Structure 1
Amino acid sequence: MDITCATMPKQKINHPSHPHLLERMPGSIVSSCQACGNKHEGVFFLCTTCPGFRINQDCALLPAKLLIQNHTDGTFTHSHPLTLAYSFSSLDLQSAFFPICRACGQRFKSHLWAYKCDKCRYYVHVDCATSKKEPFMSIFQHESLGETSKNFNEDEHPNLLHCPFNDEGDNLLKRHMSNQKELIGKQNDGDTLNHFSHQHPLILFDKQTPVGITLHDPMKRVRLLCDGCVKPIITVPFYMCSEYVDGKCCFVLHEWCAKLPLEVQHYVGHPEHTLFLLPKISDRFFGVFKCTVCRLRSNGFAYGCTMCDFYVDINCAFIPEEITHEAHPDHLLLRVMPSPYNEMRVSCKACYENTWLRWGFHCPSCNFYIHAECAFLMPRVIKHKCDKHPLSLRYYPAENHISEYFCEICEYKFQPWKWFYHCTTCAQSMDVACVPNILQCEQGAYYPFRHGVNKLLNIKFGGMLEIKGHSHCLTFAQGFNSDGECVKCRERLGYDMIFKCLECEFAFHYKCASLFLS
């Protein structure tokens, strides 16, 4: 017998959580417990010196170490034993980026007990670890993050989108067009295509890559982006401008981007007017527009209503009504549109930012929410030149990693309760906003105001601009601190869209160029 049980008949115990003797209160009562913070019905122990200190008998008999799966019927699993801690100091909470309970998803209070793993950043409330919540309090409890029972039938959802996408070469548009084979079959299937978006004929490469062209490869720092969806071209088939091989025109399209429908009717975000396919938005400088759904800048193709100045990128034009996601398996996530009257004030599970004015997906039964851009723009696996192994998308801190999390690219410490990419073999982690910067990552591309994904992810850089008063052509590029100051506003050029001269130090912001040249 342990000391607590051996001394129980004496009605008094010495408990390691408190410096004074605890005395058993007569009878059974309903009261708040100072250990777990919840109301319990049953036997309590009271401090004879500090009358306000009461702990329930179940909490008083909690084991110093436990395996969580043995106490929750396997609903929550962790490979290491958890250690009982009698407080979670404010400094420890702050240093751990204010972690959430891995069972209920709620925060911890510094004066309450908790179970912690000594080898991982795994924390859980004492009641959650032992599933000892009182039945009469169940209506006040938050939804569980554990195993869920499937709430839909696959046969009733034949084209259900399962997220995250496999890799950078997979995306929403590709999945949608793969289900539209009858539409694609009606269009030109020859080796040459005259597409209305481009002045030169396009050649289809469906069996091998043309000589002298390298497919998108982050490990070799090679970037080949589609001019339509601005996503990587990793495999054949794809279309290439007939003038590309001579270095005159660098225009490429995925096969599915070359065969998009010319219009979208009754779009959920703008049902009153038809949206038309626009290769470039004529009244936007250099074709850059802001997508209404994902809120990211893009210079690719768009579906738009010029009458209402409403535009979405071609991926977001086919946003589904419902999806599933690996971070919340077995439950359907329903599309939620932004509205100032939306009373839902939950945070996105991926980036922790607010939700009420952004498109997203929501599980009503569990109150689980993710932004549309977080669901679609973070693939399951991604490659980066900073690590020789593929990096996996993580929804929680990694096992056997108790130390701080630093992004290998920008070298800033980040919060592991937000989604991030991790290599278990090398114990390396990367912030989701930094991973896409495959060409310039050695310059530490840190974004102070990132929104869960790279803000320039949908921008294809390149192209030349001629201006009066400067003898050289300017290149459309991503700015870095090493580029110096804007010649117009005198602010730093770092981490924004810029136009710069490759022959001298002349450069200015995209926004300054658009105001100056418009």
Structure 2
Amino acid sequence: MDQPKQKVKIPCNHPLEYIQLKGGGWPGSYDYDINTCAGCDEDYGFCYYCASCSFRAHSECIEWPDTIDHPSHSRHPLKKVSPGTIDYTDGKCHFCREELVDPMYHCSLCNFSVDVNCWRHPPQRTIYQPKSHEHTFTLMPRKITFTCNACGMLDCIDLPRVININRHDHRISRTYHLGHGDWDLCGLCRKEIDWSFGAFTCKRCPSYAVHSKCAVRKDVWDGEELEDVPEEEEEIEDPYKVINDKEIIHFSHEEHSLRLGGDDNVTGYEKMLCDACITPISSDPFFKCVQCEFFLHKECASLPRRKRSILHIDKLDLRVKNKAGNHYKCRSCQKLFDGFRYKTTFDKFDVRCGSISEPFHHELHPHPLYHIFSPEEKSHICGACDRPTQYVLSCTVCEFHLGMDCGTLPTKVKHTCDGHDLSLHHGAGNTDGPLWCDICEEETDPSVWFYGCDDCVSTLHIKCVLGDMYHFKPGNKYGKAELVANDGMTRPFCIVCEERCMFPSFLKATVSDSTLVYACSMNCAYDSYWKKWYYDESG
């Protein structure tokens, strides 16, 4: 049976630290003696520690006084209570705003609460920071509601002076008073800014301003103070060199030159895919290699090699394919993709997501959309697919959120089931009764987006039209399997789900006995039954 822990009194009035006990000595050694709790003689857990007196004790082993005096609450003594015995407070310490735990001290007359840490280590009574204000700040002994003169919203004594944010190409600087002016809405939350308070502004863009609390959000600012750092223009190499009006040499394909495609040969190349975004060339201007089957949309050929993005606090670097058959998963839209990618140290984004800028306009929504992300809100419901998602583009006019996966869907696609272009739709329109997908022959939900043909009045699920390998390039090998366009007279059976392959392409592999096997999707290809021949033995 465990012995009850002995209660000990704190032997001094020095400030106490809250540290972790660390064992490691042996009985009788100096280390062993000082690394154990003074109450229970154990060497585990967290304890209060006095460096001057070498005192250590668990919180539960300390005999805390029943009443204390606090310099910021001199009117009444504070009594030791348990948080569960009072139900009229906000449950947080008056100073650090952390959740109150047992023991705590409280004044019932003033509704004033303080935890043990803030009693033993009280906050500074005065603060002098000349960069923020020319006078000394004094800690007020009671809680009051006020609007901060510097930012209009939050405690900003420690706000940085000069920073970079991922929504603007120039540095922005803190000012304590905007003053009259033709100020735009906040560059992040898109709400009005009160000119009588402070904010962050750009010296190069006279009307650009950002709320102080928005500018220092963790998903916007990289945490670097740039006040005393010289601003140097970063030299970013151009993505291509111009040979003449029709030809370029792109950094991703330096061995051959690329020639601008003309209107006369677009039809012949409409089934070809851009090697950057892995979407059809269609009618968009494009470059074609003069010697091999390499294509780039003109827009993709101009993608900057380094850029700021609304998706990440670090600059993104444009990377090209380094090995045939490699594929990635976009951090933002969660789609699998081949081709070019924007990359940070740890994250990868496909060029469709990486190229999105604000405001974002989508033809199926009447208002501009912005990447307004709140750390407190882990997800929103996408208005296109009705599923929760974290990376969203939001409307400031109405309650509409568009997930990145839906926002980057092609608005027009080709499919073998219909000779016309399929367009992205939402709503049943003038059609009465249920809608049915012409591919899987199951019912479609008109409240979510789908593909349809206006000429044939057909409706199709987005997944059925695109599959999960839409941004892979047929002809490439992925492991031991080859991606094949599903445009033959018959559709093979998937060896995993045992259904006919209905998506635009499928994976084909050869078993040791020369038998051909097929996977209809990457979802099936990730199955252990397929993996035994899907991946190369080398990994």
TM bucket, shorter chain: 0.3 to 0.5
Larger relative helix fraction: 1
Which one scores higher on RCO, CA 8 angstroms, separation ≥ 6? 1
The normalised TM-score by structure 2 is 0.46
